[in-house]
Every structure is written in C-alpha cells, then in structure tokens.
Structure 1
Amino acid sequence: MHCWRSVSRSESVKRRKYVLDSYAVLAYLQAERGGAKVKDLLKEAKASDVQILLSVINLGEVLYVIERKLGYETAMNTLKDILRLPIQVAEVPLERVLAAAHIKAQYAIAYADTFAVALAQELEATIVTADPEFKRVESLVDILWLLGKDG
C-alpha cells in the first residue's frame, strides 16, 4: 500500500513524473474518454521509471464525487482501489499550501486544481488532465492533455 507522506525533490529527480488531477483519475476509474491514456501511464509506472503522483487534496475531490454519485461505501472501495495503483499520494505541507494559495490568487482555476499545479511545479512534473481550466496555467507547468487541448 502507498503511504501518505510528503514527496521530497531528491527522491524524484531521475524519474519522469506525472501529476494526475481529479479529472484524470475519474476518467480512468469510470472508463471514460481519456481514461485509456491514464491506464497506459499506470502500466508504465509499474514497468519503468515513471512516477505517478496525486495530491491528497485531489484524492479528496475524487472521493467526494464518487460518494455523491454512488454512496459512501463505493467511495471507500474506490479509495482502496486507488491505493493499490502505482500512484504516490502526496501530502500537503505548508509550503505547498502557500504555493497553491498564490496560484489561486493569480489564476481563475478551482482551488483543488491549484494543489496539482503546485505539486507539479515543485517536482517539475507534467500534469495529466482534460480539464479546460488548466489552459489558464499552461505557462506554469507542462500538461499532458487526455483529450487534446480543446477537449
């Protein structure tokens, strides 16, 4: 099982890194458009030096969406499923909270999304998403668009 801890820059220097946003995780879990690309990245993570990360804030977003649609028990089963995947759940230290707050003050994107951006900036990772809001922060981070830039 993956642990809940801070991600240090030194442990992630050599690997290609991707940060999933909630859209990417939900697309994968619900076999929606774009989910196949996430599945491919997860296969790469198992087989190579690819590192997949998910902010605990974005994990919370995934879980509340699942609970709202399908109930608490399904959300808790989904959590177990996510924790079995080759995804490192990244805690949120104060420095990342401050970075996310700064991003939110500057850009019109959802607050939860700012945590994905801050994590990607910190680790020089690529965000994986199909959420068009991320177009607003393309100057800050690299983005792998699941459905193309225009969805």
Structure 2
Amino acid sequence: MPNIPPLPKPSSPSAPESVNEKIKAYVLDSHARLALLQREVGQERVAGLIELAHKQKAALYISLINWGEIFYIVARRQNAKVAKELMQDIEKLPLALAEVNRARVQAAAEVKSKYPVSYADAFAVALAREYGALLVTGDPEFKAVEKMVSILWLGD
C-alpha cells in the first residue's frame, strides 16, 4: 500500500495530519470509485483526487464495507474474477482501507437509524465524520445527510 497518513483509532485525540487540515482528507463511497472505473460523471474529479493523493496533497480513505460493496457490484455486473482483479488494482491506489470495529459499526448504525441511507453508505458517512473528511459521492441518497457531513458531489 502507498504511504498514507495513518488512521487514528476511534475516540483518539490525535488524528492524522490529513484530518488536522494540513492535508485535506476525503472519504470515497463506492459510487465515487465506480464512477472512475466505469467512466461515469465525476470520474475526472475522482482521478484528480487520486493524483493529489499520489503527491501526498490529499489523503483518501474508504471503509472496508464500501470496498466490499464495490466487489459485489462488479461481481454481479461482470463476474467474481473481474471483481478480484479490480480489488487488486484498488489496493495499488493511494487509498487507505478503514477497517471495521465496534465503534465504527455503532457510528454507522446510529447514522442508519436516523437517515434513509443504505447500511454501506452509513459507514461512509460515519467514517467521514470520524475524520472530519469530505465525503466524495454522486449518489443522491446522500442528500439526506448533507447537514451531518460535508459532501463533495461528483458531477457538480
């Protein structure tokens, strides 16, 4: 994996530099990564963020749950072999994979209990809140949480 600022532990008073405004932090949901893969609206913006991350001018994160969502979407649309190859390609990107733990599950469950978003999307919202990061998406489902988290809309 590329050199990316470390992820803080939940409830940790010391967040990585990316969250402390020295480097801008972004959380990609599955829609953002799939936009790049499928050359959809917003692909240029996602590619630009990846380029900034390569230059260590941005920190990119994705929840393990959203990573799994990308896998099953690609496997369903194409097949598991293509999905596995894509996941190997994703692991080469300057994109930190945020593991799931009890605190993150609870935070996502709280989001899901209050807002009409999918459970996977609730993990992206919770992670963006945890890191004070911009959530990158083009999925209109996230309009419901615009007051809860800052969103970088693809296609705007």
* TM-score normalised by the chain length of structure 1: 0.92
- The match for 2:42 among 34, 40, 44 is 34
RMSD of Structure 2 on Structure 1 (CA): 1.5
Amino acid at match of 1:139: K
The structural deviation recorded for 1:92 is 1.3
Structure 2 residue aligned with 1:7: 7
Amino acid at match of 1:10: A
- In structure 2, stretches of 5+ residues that fail to align are 9-13
Secondary structure of 1:60's counterpart equals helix
CA distance in 2, matches of 1:81, 1:122: 26
Maintained 8 Å contact 2:15/2:131: no
Maintained 8 Å contact 1:7/1:91: no
* TM-score normalised by the chain length of structure 2: 0.89
Structure 2 residue aligned with 1:67: 75
Secondary structure of 2:107's counterpart equals helix
The structural deviation recorded for 1:2 is 5.6
Structure 1 residue aligned with 2:57: 49
Structure 2 residue aligned with 1:83: 91
The structural deviation recorded for 1:59 is 0.4
Amino acid at match of 2:111: I
- In structure 1, stretches of 5+ residues that fail to align are none
Maintained 8 Å contact 1:2/1:89: no
Amino acid at match of 1:147: G
Deviations 1:40-86 (A, max 9, x none): 10001111330000000000000000001110110000000000011
CA distance in 2, matches of 1:56, 1:2: 17
Identity of aligned residues (%): 45
